[in-house]
Amino acid sequence: MEGRFKLDFFLHNIASLFNCQVVWWDAKEIRGVFTPLNVPVPSLDHLKRLLPFSHPVAITRGRHSLCTGCPDERLCTWHCEFFVPFRLWNEEMGIGWQFAAPTPFVDNPSWLKFAVDITSLLISALEQEKSWSWGELFRQTVELCGQMLGEGLILFDERWEVVYQNEIANELNLYRQFREGTGINKLFQNKKETELVLNNSLPLRFRPFYYGRDYLGGAVFTRREKREFKSGVFQSREPIGLPKIIGKNPKLVKAISIAQQVALTDSTILLRGESGTGKEMFARAIHENSPRKKGPFIAINCAAIPENLLESELFGYEEGSFTGARRGGKPGKIELAHKGTLFLDEIGDMPPALQAKLLRVLQEKKIERVGGTRPVPIDVRIIAATHRNLEEMIATGQFREDLYYRLSVIPIYIPPLRERPEDIELLLYYYVKKYCVLLNKEFKTFTYDALQLLKAYPWPGNIRELENTVEYIVTVEDKEEIGVESLPLAIRRFYQPQSSPERKDIRTGRVKREELAELLERFGYSVEGKKELARHLGISLATLYRWLKKYKL
Ligand SMILES: Nc1ncnc2c1ncn2[C@@H]1O[C@H](COP(=O)(O)OP(=O)(O)OP(=O)(O)O)[C@@H](O)[C@H]1O
């Protein structure tokens, strides 16, 4: 098999295994796109901007500096993208792994390492083609994939002989189970992708490998999620099914529990909360846990698209409906979400004319493209989100009351981070772990002072800001213990050393009203916020309440 085609073969199979799009390119051209997804191919202009990087890069949509001014910004529907640069045949090249939605793989901090390992394996095989046997390359690739999937794996050759099995398969006695029951050759004799439950207890997935029309063998993977689901582990341990919704704050836990219940229904949901509190994450989790999870999850940010384009983005258009309209027309996001979920982010920014049009879609469950004449029936579940005060907007005539009632059938409030001080440490260490693995660094801890400061900081950008902060610290800091001096300036400005006048004054009860008001603002007015403030000041909650009463705060 010649070099280029060998790489094609592997990338194609890995893409379908992980349900992602894999792109291989150099400075002049896109050499290959491998994808089981029906999604836009990135432009060469976008990909070329990645080539100057000499190290692997993980990009979450809208959060990386590269997203600003990206030529694909308007078309981008990716959840995230991993880029691995390399040099082959004396040229700079790159392989990008793009995911349309969060999945267990994307959210696993080991993914970037996996992407690097698999790329290096393929490249070294291509570089030293003579010394690599085709079978060995195949075995090592599938083995790495099996580790990443965290599932039992047995690999067969074209004669159904076992060529490899990993430890999980070993533990499950997988091979014996085949020999005792119907043989593997019978179970998968049509050599097509198959899912089945072995001996009524073990869900399996069979993946054949072909090169052109030649059958080369196949892999059998166990399907772990199903096993966990059956035993109830999934439901009890991770209520929303996406383990990364971190937090134990009672208000957040309540939001998760409501989301979990309504996920099973088709009700329209309105997610409310400040920017960066996790509204989109909730929306995706609800979709993933709903009966629509096999359908698409389509997100659109009503504030990010210019008013004149929003209508055609949402509703699509027919051919010739305006100058520049694409031949054959284009479906809008609502149509694309058919049988799935449509996430309307920043709904408060939707212009009034479109609010009326959206209301009609919700009432009639039909959609008409711009320039179209035929209404098309659609079956879409709507989740809207906003950080704005819609009630005030209704009062000032900026938002339609009837649309508001249609949308907020189930309102879910996600509290800002400053109202959830107990979650800050959890999130800090969650992201420290994630970025230390991603960036291949030693695990880090915070000094007492740094942790107190991070807990006292009001996090106006919420979890997005916290994640960016941790990513920055882990990237630039080599020490194992992170002190106040390593924190970004914006946070250090909040530092109040132990002997500061503020503390002394407060301890002696001589704190000024303005100072206390400012601290209260910083920690939040909730009971949790006040508890945290009392802890910060070194006084009891009862004393704090006394002071607040005294100052009428
Ligand atoms: N509870 C949580 N646990 C872990 N990560 C979280 C949590 N909540 C949010 N995040 C992370 O914080 C980031 C911001 O979340 P998300 O984009 O869902 O916020 P948002 O409220 O939709 O923001 P915006 O209104 O600005 O679009 C994401 O990277 C998300 O993964």
Q: Which two tokens stand for residue 226?
A: 């199903």
- pLDDT confidence of residue 211: 67
Question: Which residue's CA lies nearest to atom 23 of ligand 1?
Answer: 276
Q: Are 321 and 368 in contact (CB under 8 A)?
A: no
Ligand 1 atom at shortest distance from the alpha carbon of 466: 12
CA 162 to ligand 1 centroid distance, Å: 44
- pLDDT confidence of residue 268: 93
Domains 3-140 and 150-228 share a fold: yes
Per-residue pLDDT of the chain (553 residues; tens, 9 = 90+): 556 667 787 888 888 778 788 999 888 888 888 887 777 778 888 888 887 777 788 887 777 777 777 877 777 777 788 888 888 888 888 999 888 877 666 666 677 878 888 888 888 887 776 666 777 777 788 878 877 777 788 888 788 887 777 777 777 777 777 766 677 788 888 888 888 877 666 778 888 877 667 777 888 887 654 333 222 222 222 333 444 688 889 999 899 989 988 988 899 999 999 988 999 999 999 998 899 988 888 888 888 777 778 888 899 888 766 665 555 677 888 988 899 999 999 999 999 999 999 999 999 999 988 888 888 899 999 999 999 999 999 999 999 999 999 998 889 999 999 999 889 988 998 888 888 877 777 888 888 888 889 998 999 889 989 998 998 888 888 888 888 888 988 888 877 665 444 444 444 455 677 778 888 887 888 887 888 787 777 677 777 887 888 777 8
Ligand 1 atom at shortest distance from the alpha carbon of 273: 21
Q: Which CATH architecture has domain 3-140?
A: 2-Layer Sandwich (3.30)
Ligand 1 atom at shortest distance from the alpha carbon of 60: 29
What does the domain layout of the chain look like in residue ranges? Answer: 3-140, 150-228, 239-413, 417-492, 501-550
* Ligand 1 shell residues, CB under 6 Å: 60, 244-247, 273, 275-281, 345, 387, 463-464, 467
CA 274 to ligand 1 centroid distance, Å: 10
CA 5 to ligand 1 centroid distance, Å: 40
CA 82 to ligand 1 centroid distance, Å: 19
Q: Which two tokens stand for residue 548?
A: 């607040």
CATH 1.10.1740.10 fits 417-492, yes or no: no
Ligand 1 atom at shortest distance from the alpha carbon of 102: 31
CA 464 to ligand 1 centroid distance, Å: 6
Which H/E stretch holds residue 502? helix 501-507
Q: Are 303 and 349 in contact (CB under 8 A)?
A: yes
CA 385 to ligand 1 centroid distance, Å: 12
The CATH number given to 150-228 is: 3.30.450.20
Ligand 1 atom at shortest distance from the alpha carbon of 423: 1
Q: What is the dihedral of CA 384, 386, 391, 393, to 10 degrees?
A: -110
Strand partners, 222: 204
Ligand 1 atom at shortest distance from the alpha carbon of 277: 21
CA 275 to ligand 1 centroid distance, Å: 8
Q: Are 396 and 348 in contact (CB under 8 A)?
A: no
SS3 at position 178: helix
Exposed e or buried b per residue across 311-331, where buried means at least 16 C-beta atoms within 10 angstroms of its C-beta: bbbbbbbbeebeeebeeebbe
**What CATH number matches the domain at 239-413, 3.40.50.970, 3.40.109.10, 3.40.50.1370, 3.40.50.300?**
3.40.50.300
- pLDDT confidence of residue 224: 54
Using alpha carbons, select from 284, 402, 383, 395 the residue that is nearest to residue 343: 383
Cα Rg of the chain, angstroms: 27
